[in-house]
Amino acid sequence: MATANTLKQDLKSKAPMMGTFVKTPSPIIVEVLADTGLDFLILDAEHAPFGREALDLCVMTARLKGCRVVVRIPDDAPGTILNALDLGADGIMVPHVKSAAQAEALVKAAHYGAGGRGYAGSTRAAGYGTVPMARHKANSAANTVVIAQIEDPEGVDAIEDIAAVEGLDCLFIGRVDLAVAYGATSMQDAVVEEATMKVCQAGRDKKMTVGMFLPDMTEVPHFLAQDVSFFGMASEHKMIQDGFRALLDSAEWAEAEQQASPGA
């Protein structure tokens, strides 16, 4: 598991980290997950129904619990990036990054400076006006995390240039979208595996951290050997489903059902 460093520091060190995607826009779910020992949470504002108020409450809860939190934003618009970071998220995960120019624009929009992130000292990120501008800007520059999802053939083709973008913290492989884009039938198809290995190699070449979604633990040893260190494991939805399915499939429940059945 990761150390007590900031998320940005742990990404840079390539310390193995495990988190999960949060699909339920509820601060209670975030509160429960924060007590599990996971290294981070990813609030999935791309595919789950996170409105601005729900996102605000979930980020607030994660911060109060001392849990690092990333927002997977639905698009790469500067206003979308600004909102997630002003709420106090440790960073953003941006879907469908296809070029170095796009990655450079994302980094710029996530940081203060000419043409970059708009400044407001009244936000949670700035301590609601209690953190001086110079200190908040320094904290933001030192700690804001920008993660680029690589989930399109164009992104794979441009991966060496994307991995070289200064200020980018992690390449996050989206094998499901890659499978769809390549017309493959599963994440294990050869074309997806080839694309995945190309991203991993670019991470090694450019000393860039690589992460990925995995549905369970079975492939973790394989990808650790490929220097993948940032794992978004499943989601709370999948863990709930798997947990109750395991109970229903257990020998103890089968025995209880048999004993309760007529004629037993």
| 111: annotated active-site residue | no
Whether 1 has a pLDDT exceeding 60, the answer reads: no
Task: Name the amino acid, one letter, at 116.
Answer: G
Band of pLDDT at residue 264, cut at 50, 70 and 90:
low
Band of pLDDT at residue 3, cut at 50, 70 and 90:
low
Output the pTM of the full model. Answer: 0.95
Pairing relation of β-strands 91-94 and 170-173? Answer: unpaired
Task: Name the amino acid, one letter, at 161.
Answer: D
Query: What is the rounded average pLDDT of the residues 49-60?
Result: 98
| Integer Cα distance of 145 and 192 in angstroms | 26
DSSP state of 90: S
Identify the three-state secondary structure at position 16. coil
For domain 7-260, which CATH number applies: 3.40.50.300, 3.20.20.60, 3.30.930.10, 3.40.50.720? 3.20.20.60
Q: Which residues contact 146 (CB under 8 A, 6 or more apart)?
A: 91, 92, 94, 106, 107, 110, 167, 168, 169, 170
Query: What is the rounded average pLDDT of the residues 212-227?
Result: 97
Q: What pLDDT, on the 0 to 100 scale, is given for residue 48?
A: 98
For 143-168, the pLDDT digits (tens) are 999 999 999 999 999 999 999 999 99
Whether 92 has a pLDDT exceeding 70, the answer reads: yes
Answer for the pair 237, 49: CB distance below 8 angstroms, yes or no: no
Q: What pLDDT, on the 0 to 100 scale, is given for residue 261?
A: 82
Q: What pLDDT, on the 0 to 100 scale, is given for residue 80?
A: 98
Query: What is the rounded average pLDDT of the residues 52-58?
Result: 98
Whether 41 has a pLDDT exceeding 60, the answer reads: yes
| Integer Cα distance of 229 and 153 in angstroms | 22
Nearest to 43 by CA among 21, 10, 11: 21
Whether 181 has a pLDDT exceeding 70, the answer reads: yes
Please tell me which residue in 47, 96, 111, 237 is annotated as part of the active site: 47
Report the length, in residues, of the chain.
Answer: 264
